[in-house]
Amino acid sequence: MCEFENIWVFILLPLPLLMLLIPRYNKKKVSLRIPLGMSQSIQELKLSNNNRNKIKSKSIVDWLIIIIIWILLIVSLASPFIVGKSKQISKTGRNILMVSDISLSMQTSDFYDKEGNNQTRWEVCKEVMNDFIKRRKGDRVGLIVFGSQAYTQTPFTEDINSYGRFLNQIEVGMAGQMTAINSAIALGIDLFEKDKINKRIMILLTDGVDSKSSVSAINMAKLAKEKKVIIYTIGVGGSLNSNSDLDEKTLKEISDVTGGKYFLANDRKEMEGIYKSLDKLEPMEYKNSSYCPKTKLFYYPLISAFCLSFIHIVLKLLFHLIKK
């Protein structure tokens, strides 16, 4: 059904008719006495003027076209639109926060790419994380990196391309040499609290041990549980290197406290398998809304009015040229 945004504009429709009803101003002039011999010449002059007036006066067709153009302009100004059927929108997804260790130990080259070439832990983690994020549909993802301090690299967003660009900009060591897991969890909780979505997933990846501070990572995990944050922890390269500082016990406890799960990745294949397991997390609906799509139609009468005006002018010019 067609509706109008500015329906009051239709009160202007009779405006041209009102202008026609206004009486013309005719100024009376004093008549002249014409000698008898000039009467025939005066009569010819009157006939000539009458013909000229007929040419100047508008025909019924002209007035009809003008009225149609006026109606089209008024209809366009009233901004007509069609309202479509009501549609329900159910947006599904979660807030997934990737929390990644980029301390200097992530520079260790004990991983391999698909061709068997040597790669650093961070290079493999970054590639697998990129693939994981590309598969997210409806999820809002964020990214925190940490070393001696934790930093928000990307707030929650559905723009996966932008997320990938920010992820590729990260370099090992840019957040310091230590492994402040507690600071990373605290910053993640704060990021979740600023958002309205209740489904909160944190994926914590590290190859080290939490730097000792006034608040331990376990205590921060307990706070995360209170805030309904589920933490999945991923330990990197624990059994490959005898000198590894990976604290699997703490990572398991963090995931157990929050209702998550601990994973160990010793190579690329295991890392890819972990993120495929995380793919199976159930999405939830966090926003239901309905809307009626509107299709604006004002340009149809507007274009019609201009086309009709143009055709009318062209035909009038051709008519006068032919008569000449």
DSSP 58-105: PPHHHHHHHHHHHHHHHHHHT-EEEE---EEEEEEE-EEEEEEE-SGG
End-to-end Cα separation, the chain, in angstroms: 50
For 220-276, the pLDDT digits (tens) are: 999 999 999 999 999 997 655 556 678 889 999 999 999 999 999 888 888 889 888
Look-up of token digits 């000539």: 48
Specify the 3-state DSSP secondary structure of 111. Answer: strand
Condensed to tens digits (0 to 9), the pLDDT of residues 263-322 reads: 998 888 888 898 888 877 655 555 556 667 888 888 898 999 999 999 988 888 888 788
Specify which residues 202 forms β-bridges with.
Answer: 97, 231
Count Cβ atoms within 10 A of the Cβ of residue 188 and give its class: 0-12 exposed, 13-18 middle, 19 or more buried.
buried
Q: Nearest 5°: CA angle at 55, between 53 and 59?
A: 105
Give 220-269 as a DSSP string: HHHHHHHTTEEEEEEEESTTT-TT----HHHHHHHHHHHT--EEEESSHH
Q: Residue 294 pairs with which residues in a beta bridge?
A: 83
- pLDDT of res. 187: 95
How much is the average pLDDT of 140-169? 91
- Reported pTM: 0.61
Cα angle 208, 211, 216; round to 5: 110
Give the whole-angstrom CA distance, residue 12 versus residue 73. Answer: 10
Q: What is the DSSP letter of 34?
A: -
Gap between the Cα atoms of 211 and 194, Å rounded: 26
Interatomic CA distance for residues 199 and 42, integer angstroms: 98
Strand 200-206 vs strand 95-101: parallel, antiparallel, or unpaired? parallel
Average pLDDT, the chain: 81
**Angle made by CA atoms 273, 276, 277, in degrees to the nearest 5:** 90
Inform me whether the pLDDT recorded for 100 exceeds 90: yes
